[in-house]
Structures are given as structure tokens and as C-alpha cells.
Structure 1
Amino acid sequence: MVFQSWSWKKRSEDHDSWSKSCCNMREEYLDTWSESCYCNMRREDATLRGWRKKIRRDDDDDDGESKRKEETPSRHHRIDDDDLPLINDDLLEEIMLRLPAKALTRFQIVSKHWRRKIESKYFKDLFMSHQKTTQEPKFLYLQESFLDLTLTTLRLDWSSTSCLDEEGPVYHIEPEIDQLTRVSGSCDGLVCIFNELSLTSPIIVTNPAMVRSLTLPLSLFQRHCLEECNKNVTPHFPGFGKDDVTGTYKLVWLHNNVSNYTLSCEVFDFEVKEWRYLANTPSGVRANEEPVFAKGWLYWIIADRSNKYNILGYDIHTEMFRVFTNTIVSKACDFNTITMCSLSDRIWVTNNMPKGGGMQHFWRIKNAMDSVWESEKLFSIDPNSISPGFKNVSKVEPFITLKATSKDDKKVLVSRLHLSNLVHLLPSPTGHGLVFGSAFSVPTDSIFIPYFQSLQFPL
């Protein structure tokens, strides 16, 4: 009985121990399984969240790409001012001043701000001043054919053997004029084109750098000649200049009678766009063919009935004529022995005296506003010693014409009058006079004039 009781108790304890052990094992297994499931669930949840983030990011990228495509302007779409990178106005101005005029006309489509700046009077004047003061002169090369006139801008390089290099732009004009075209001196990058053999041909004003031109209406004198069928009158070349006070451009045209004395004067005012006669035209004087412009004035060499030579000046602002005297001009014996030119707003006088052995002297006027002009001789040239193309020059008729001087006046570019040969003169090694440097020829039907690019256009 005791043994049976002990056995039963033992089995009962073993069963309780086994049950407890099973319960502990079950709890441990459940805890492990629960933890494992939880970790797996967290891992799967993290993976799901990462996948969802990637989907959202891809969607955002797609939306941004489509939005950028919608906001990106087309190639021909104008860019608003707010979309442009911010550039300091002073820096932008300095960059623009160094660009050619044709490029600036194209850049006006970039934005309204750029257009306003380029078209402003302030910037146009600043651009012209920069062209005059910081660069060597350029030349306008005009060549005419039976079809049109070709105008090309050439750059003057004193160190180059060719001296002139093509810079462009090339501008073709189809004027309603015949051959033998004349071109006025440049005024603010504008030139006046005129047919010297036909009084009834229209006058053209052009800005070659901007590739723009304008044909003016016939003057009152031209209309009168058409009505009277008088087309054989040989006209003087009109003078083209600018009013330094108001900035208005004007064309001044002296007309002579059959005896070649001044008869009348017409002015075309680009502000009101019409021709009109001047009441105070000087009479009893003969004027040379082509006037020169400098600092708001037009100048002609004139001779009175006693064959005394002086300078006739016309103030474009006040529209008044004035006579100036100069000892060099007064010694002239014929219009063929003296001439004037304007370089960098300075008047130059060139004379060729019959008693001077054929030497040609170049004088620069120091005080053009005074009644009596003072002049200083810069250099003299013997045409017979320059170049074979300059030999056999008459001792009475000039002429070497001055085309350009370097900023220090030590290098000179000259040409024969009415011819296309250009000669580059250098200082003599001995320090006295100028000697031959280089020469080059261009077609005989071409014209060279000193020229600066500008953004000016009067109409």
C-alpha cells in the first residue's frame, strides 16, 4: 500500500513536472514565434513603406518633368524678364558697348529691358562715344555695280601689312540712281548717297552697320528742275550734319546759278521730315563741291567775285552762315589747290602751292570757333616720292587726300583724289617727314570714307 501510494505520488509529480515543462516550452515557443512574426511584419512593413516612398518619388519626378516641359518656352518664345539671370546693369552695359551694332539690333528681342536700354538715347550716345574714343577708325568701303551698291565695313589696323581688314556687315542697296555715286562724310555712322550727274535722282541716307536706309523725297529745287525739264544742272554735293544742341540731323544743300555763284539753299529737317528754303543764303560767292562737318557746323571753301578765298560756315542749330578766314586758305589760287577734310571732329586743310615744288602740306585747325582760324602744320608729303601710283602728279592740281591718322598722328593713310589707291605712310627713320610704308589698290569704281559704327537712325 505504501509502495503503491508512493508510485502514484511519483507519477503525479512527474506528470505535473512534465505538464509544467510542456507549458513552459509552449509559452517559450509562442513567445519566439510571436517575436519572429512581429519582426517579419515590421520588416515587411518597412519594405512596404520604402516601396510606397519610391512610388511617390517617381510620381513626383514624373509630375515635375511634365511641369518643366510645360513651363519651358519654345525656341521662338520670348523670355520674360523674371526668367533671365540677374546681371548688374553696369556689367551689362559694358558688355553691350563692345558688341557690333548689328548684334545689338538683334539682341533687342531678348527682353523688354534690353530693348529699352539699346533704344535709349543715353546708350546710343554712349555707344558712339565708345566707338570714337577707344577704337581706331573704321572705313566704309562702297563699291557700285550695275545692279546695286555694296557697302562693307573695314577695320583699320596700323600694324597689318594690308592695313584694312574686312569686318562687316556687308550691305547691298538697290538705289534709284545711275552710276558715278558720291558718298558724304560719315556723321554719327550715317552717310548720304547721291548721284553727282543727275540732279533729279533721290538722295539716300543709310546706316550700314544697322543695315538700314531711307530714300528722301525730292527737294523743292529738284521738283522745279523736273517741271522745267532741266536735268543738266550740275549740283553741289549736299552737306549732312547734326545739331549738337537738339540732336536733330539736317541736310543742307547749296544751289548755284549758271555762273556758278550761290543762288539758294535748302534744308531737309529730319525732325519735321520736309524740305524748306533758307532766307539768309549768302550771295556772290562760289563754293567748293563738298562741305565737311565738325562739331555742329558745316564748312565750305568759298571764293568771292574778287577771287579771295575764305571758309563759309553754317551753324546747324541757329541756321546762320558765317565767314571765317585762314592764312593757308587765303593763299589758294584755285579750288584745285586746296581742300578740307574732317577727322575725329577736327578740321584739316591741305594745300598744294605751285611755287612749293609740288610738296603738299597738311594743316590742322586749332580754333574753328574763332573768326580767324589758326593752323598748325603736322606734316608734308612729296607725292612723287611716295609710290609709283602717285607719280606724275600735276604741281597745280592735287591731290593727295587725307583718309586717316593714328591717335599720335605719326602714321597716316592717304589716297589720290578721286582714285582708289591707298598708301600707308610711316615716320621717317631720320625723324623728318613721312616715308612709304605700304600700298594697296582696290577697284576703280569704289569709295573709301572714314567711318564709325553707331545705332543712330533719324527716321
Structure 2
Amino acid sequence: MAEEEKKPKPIYLFPDLLEEILLRLPLQSILNFKIVAKQWRSILESRRFAERRVEIQKNRKILAAVDHEPESRFEGDEEIEVFYLHCDCDDVATRPSLTCDGLVCIPVPGWVNVLNLSTGESIGFPSGPDPVTNYYDYQLASGYWWNTFPAFWAMGFGKDIVNGSYKVVRMFFDPNHYCEILDVNIGEWRKLLNPPPYKVDARRKSACVNGSIYWLELHDKLCVLALDLHTEVFRVIPSPPICSESDQVVNLENRLAIAKTNTWSDWKLEIRCLDAQEKTWSMTYTISLTSIATPRPWRVWFRPMAVSKQGNLFFYDSKKRLFKYYPETSSLRCLSLDICVISPFVENLVSLRPSGSYVPKTSGSRPSGFPNIILDQEKVKDKQLIVPTAQTTILQQL
């Protein structure tokens, strides 16, 4: 008899060593390895692994939307990468959204949708009947700095850094102040016992930094209103000494920042950051914008996104332009003249499967008026950003 072929001996890897190996693999491989063994799946779906995966990412990334295929587009450079989402129409590409750790929250009438573009998961939560307000009827008919969410909800989206859950926040102020929170892991709205102490402008985007959501208010009270997502307690933070209608509140490298355009003398962008004690604002960047040809510059707002390892700042404006600022030489470069930037982007392996009794929407119950969002297949192939499936539709459950 021929000698039987010897079977290779199985190799046992300690869980800690296995985790270190898996952390350094491309995202597509990580997602495919979930079916190898229960132990591997347990590691890959753990909160610890998802958080460590976010921490070790090196290259800065930008998430942008396109509603058409331009002749040429910015694909990134040696300091930053760009990932595109293809939308069916310009309305979706420019629809106000909120982001945190690579997750995207898109409120639409009747629904709040949360997407994880790294895993391809999406989930929608009914928002119930929208309230009605006439408060904004008596203000300016249009504002070039506004990002209006459905029904004039003041929206927020962020992560509770204590228990790791992601939460959607919405506030309404007419006639009474109240706030509701939805934990994505549970899937149910609940009303806070303590309402927000001040009204904030619902037409401004909020920012999430280190477990709190921040709203800038310039009308009823000049301040920054903050909500701790774990204790669910509001607090009031003094705003910078000088503010204007076009100011934008952002998360810049895990610090709360306000971007202000100054048009009184030389046109410039001023970016101030808040210290860890939330007491002092410091001028971080002063960028001359005189080299940018823009008619009526007072109608333009700017939002900083990321700082590269080389210390250069990336920011974009309301004219769909992307810029790179070099602090060492005080020089400014326009990277793209036609890009709809959504936010900075990081890979995130967190699951959107609710642990409570909430049943997610199925793919056949997508809200009307919300077209598909399609992934850039070349980026999927080259960057291995999104899990490959038979369908490339991100909103699979919408």
C-alpha cells in the first residue's frame, strides 16, 4: 500500500497573538475571515478589536459623494486618500449628514438612516411624525451657511465613549424645548428628562468630540451647547470672542474647533480650538484666502477636515472645492474644483445589528425619495475598503 499522505498538524495561535495578526490585515480579508472559526469571528466582532482597528490606521482618508462621473477627479496624494460614493442625484450627494468614526447618519423625512461603509451594513429607524414650526419663517429666507435637517430638527450623532454605543440626538424648541436620543444598539427613541437649556440654530451642523455633541448658537445666546452622550447632561461652553453667521463647528483631530471666515480686511480663514478643560479657545490656524478667486466671499464657508502626518491641513468650502494648506510656508493649494466632501473617514468594524427588540427595515422598504448610494467599485478593488458582495448598493436595508 502506498504510504498514506500525512495531514498537516493544526497550528494553535493564542488569542492575543491572533488578534495582533488580524489587526494588520486589509479590511476585505478581515471581513472574509469571520467565517473561518467561531473564535476568529468573536475576535473580529468584539468592541476591543473595532476600536484598536480605528487607532492603528495610518493614512488620512476623505469620504466624498458624486452624482455624476466627472472627466477628472482628485484621487488623493501622498498624504491623503479619497473614497467616493456614487449617488443617483445631486439632492442625495448634498443632503445634510452627520458622521462619527466612519459611520454616516442621514436623516430623511420619516426616517433616520445609519450606514457603516466599511462593512456594508445599514439600518433605518422610523422617526415618527415630524413637528411643525414657524420659527424660521420670520428669519432670513436663505442662508449660505445653513445645513437644514428635516422639520428643522437640531441633529447630532456621536459615540458614547464609556460603553461604545453610537447615538442619534434630535432637539426641538417650538413651543417647548425637548430632546430625544436613539441608541443604535437598542433602536428606540426616548425623551430626556432634562430639556436643553437654550435654543440652538437647527440649520447648523453639530460635531461630536470625545463623547459629547456640540452645537454653536449665535442668536438667543452666544455660546456652545454640549451634551455628554453617556451622562446625557447638557452643559454650556463659552464661544470664541468673535463669531459670525458662517462659522462652522467641527471635530479637528479630536479637538473641538470653530472655523471662521474673516472678510473685514484681508479675506482669511481663522480656526480656533478648545482646550481639554473647555475654558480657552486658541488660534490654531490663520490662512490667507486672497489667492482664491471667489465673487462675494462673504457667502462662502469653510470646514477643516484633517491634518496629515506632515502637519498639512485639508479643508473644503461650500463651493465644492478642496484645499491643502502648508503651515511651514503659509502656502495654499487647491486640490479639486468639483468635489462634494462628506467628512473625514476611518475604517470601522462595529456592527449595526441592534441588541434589543427592534427589527431593522428590510431591503424592500426603502423610504420613498431616497435613491441608492453606490460604492466606487475601483476603490473597493484597489483599497479593499468595503466588503465585496453581489450587490454594491450601500443602502441595502433602505
Residue 278 (str. 1) matches residue 192 (str. 2): yes
CA distance in 1, matches of 2:9, 2:152: 57
Q: C-alpha distance in 2, partners of 1:241/1:89?
A: 30
User: How far apart are the structure 1 equivalents of 2:116 and 2:150?
Assistant: 29
Distance 2:272 2:81 in 1: 25
1:23 match:
none
Q: 1:298 aligns with which of 199, 213, 218?
A: 213
Aligned partner (choices 407, 418, 426) of residue 326 of structure 2:
426
State the alpha-carbon separation in 2 of the partners of residues 191 and 402 from structure 1: 18
For 2:166, the equivalent position in structure 1 comes to: 249
Partner of 2:332: 436
Of stretches 247-256 and 346-355 in structure 1, the one that deviates more from structure 2 is 346-355
**Structure-to-structure mapping, 1:253-264, within 5 angstroms:** 253-257=170-174, 263-264=177-178
Higher relative contact order (CA 8 A, sep 6+): 2
What is the Cα deviation at residue 415 of structure 1?
A: 1.2
Deviation at 1:354, TM superposition (A): 4.5
Q: 1:281–1:363: structure 2 CA closer, same or farther, 3 Å change rule?
A: same
State the 1:171 CA deviation: 6.8
Deviation at 1:363, TM superposition (A): 1.4
Looking at structure 1, the residues matched to 347 and 216 of structure 2 have their Cα atoms a distance apart, in angstroms, of 28
Partner of 1:331: 242
Q: TM-score, normalised by structure 1?
A: 0.64
The match for 2:360 is none
- The corresponding residue for 2:63 is 140
CA distance in 2, matches of 1:344, 1:363: 13
C-alpha RMSD of matched pairs (Å): 3.2
Pick the structure with greater CA Rg: 1
Change (3 A) 1:377 1:206: same
* Equivalence map 1:10-409=2 (5 Å): 59-61=1-3, 64=4, 84-87=10-13, 89-131=15-57, 135-144=58-67, 157-158=78-79, 164=81, 180-185=94-99, 187-195=100-108, 200-217=109-126, 219-222=127-130, 234-236=151-153, 238-257=155-174, 263-282=177-196, 285-287=199-201, 289-305=204-220, 308-326=221-239, 328=240, 330-332=241-243, 334-336=244-246, 338-367=247-276, 369-370=277-278, 373-385=279-291, 387-388=292-293, 391-394=294-297, 396-407=298-309
Contact 2:180 2:189 in 1 (8 A): yes
Question: Counterpart of 2:52 in 1: which secondary structure?
Answer: helix
Q: 1:211 Cα deviation (Å)?
A: 1.0
Cα gap change, 1:203 to 1:102, in 2 (>3 Å):
farther
Q: Within 1, Cα distance between the matches of 2:223 and 2:53?
A: 36
Q: Tell me how far 1:285 sits from its aligned partner.
A: 2.4
Change (3 A) 1:88 1:233: closer
Given residue 448 of structure 1, which amino acid in structure 2 is its aligned partner?
I
Structure with the higher fraction of residues in helix conformation: 1
Amino acid corresponding to residue 456 of structure 1 in structure 2? V
Q: Distance in 2 between matches of 1:298 and 1:321?
A: 10
3-state SS, counterpart of residue 44 of structure 2 = helix
- Report the CA distance between 1:293 and its aligned residue: 0.1
**Which runs of 5 or more residues in structure 1 are unaligned?**
1-58, 72-81, 146-153, 226-231
The separation in 2 between residues aligned to 1:335 and 1:236, in whole angstroms, is 19
Cα separation, partners in 2 of 1:144 and 1:215, compared to 1, 3 Å = farther
1:108-153 per-position Cα deviation (integer Å, ceiling 9, x unaligned): 111222112212222222222222xxx13212222347xxxxxxxx
CA-CA distance at 1:449 after TM superposition: 0.9
Deviations 1:265-313 (A, max 9, x none): 22112243201222322255232521100111000001353xx411000
Percent of pairs identical after alignment? 24
